[in-house]
Amino acid sequence: MNTLPLISIILPTYNRAKVLPLAIESILVQTYSNIELIIIDDGSIDNTEKIVKNYTGNIKYFYKKNHVELLYYKLILNQVDFVIGSFDLKYDGPGRFLRATNGPLPPLAQAPQWFVEKISIKPKMQIISLDDDVSIHQIWRERFSQHKNIEQISFTSGEKFKTWFKSTENISHHQLFLMDLELLNQSSSGLDIIVELNIAKQSVLVTSHYDEQELRARCEKLGIKLLPKPMAGFVPIQMDQASFNREN
């Protein structure tokens, strides 16, 4: 029996099929286990329902046409039979959040050994991403652009990345490699390239296959941390303050 308090996560959506998988997967990869995800569809005419049905677990889907945000809140309170979480919710107004108002907050679960809890960066650091999905590069560019004195380099080809790597000099700990596992229609995986170039200590494997035990075991042996790809937009990025102060 799960003794942790149940957390109900309410996700309103409307015609967001393209980005909905990222939102769902970012919730499902959380280390806190006793959660339910309630998706309230405000009359979408795209394939939202089909996407939701691709996922398993404690997920509830409700289709309600032409409701506004306040009605989402009323729906949650009036139909409390499907919201069985242990925490009361307070509505903060249109465009804001539903938040817990009473009861103890659930204890923080310890992150698994393989998981990247945060990305630490330093001034003048190079962030090199290798991924065949250009949207992931866009996510990294937007996130790292908030930090000064950081150089970002992106590759979609493993061979071009290796050529670039071998042509550079003074490879040091001031580089971070964010590597995709599966590189479609390419001869080597991101993990193969990490091993070939001996950059395990400077690399993070960013992959949707994070839950495969064999992959986790191999990465643990090599000293490589994994980041679930849906978490790319959410993992905390922190500047090493001591290094920052020395540079300024």
Whether the pLDDT of residue 70 is over 50: the answer is no
Mapped onto helix, strand or coil, the DSSP state of residue 35 is: strand
Q: Which residue has the higher pLDDT, 126 or 8?
A: 126
Whether the pLDDT of residue 1 is over 60: the answer is no
Mapped onto helix, strand or coil, the DSSP state of residue 88 is: coil
**Cα-flanking dihedrals φ and ψ of residue 227, to 5°?**
-125, 120
pTM above 0.75, yes or no: no
Short-list 226, 160, 220, CA closest to 187: 160
Whether the pLDDT of residue 95 is over 90: the answer is no
Average pLDDT over residues 152-177: 87
Tens of pLDDT, residues 189-224: 999 999 999 999 999 999 988 888 899 999 999 999
The torsion angle over the Cα atoms of residues 114, 117, 123 and 126, rounded to 10 degrees, is: 40
In this prediction, residue 96 carries a pLDDT of 41
Tokens of 141: 């560019």
- Which range (50-54, 126-130, 168-172) has the least confidence? 168-172
In this prediction, residue 220 carries a pLDDT of 93
Tens of pLDDT, residues 3-35: 677 777 777 787 888 888 888 888 887 777 788
What is the percent of the chain with per-residue pLDDT over 70, rounded to a whole number?
74
Amino acid of residue 227: L
Average pLDDT over residues 215-243: 86
- Which range (16-25, 70-79, 155-164, 232-241) has the least confidence? 70-79
E strand map for 49-201: 59-63, 89-91, 98-100, 119-121, 125-130, 150-155, 175-180
In this prediction, residue 199 carries a pLDDT of 95
Q: Which residue has the higher pLDDT, 242 or 145?
A: 145
Whether the pLDDT of residue 160 is over 90: the answer is yes
Q: From the CB of residue 116, how many other CB atoms can be counted at a distance below 10 Å? A: 20
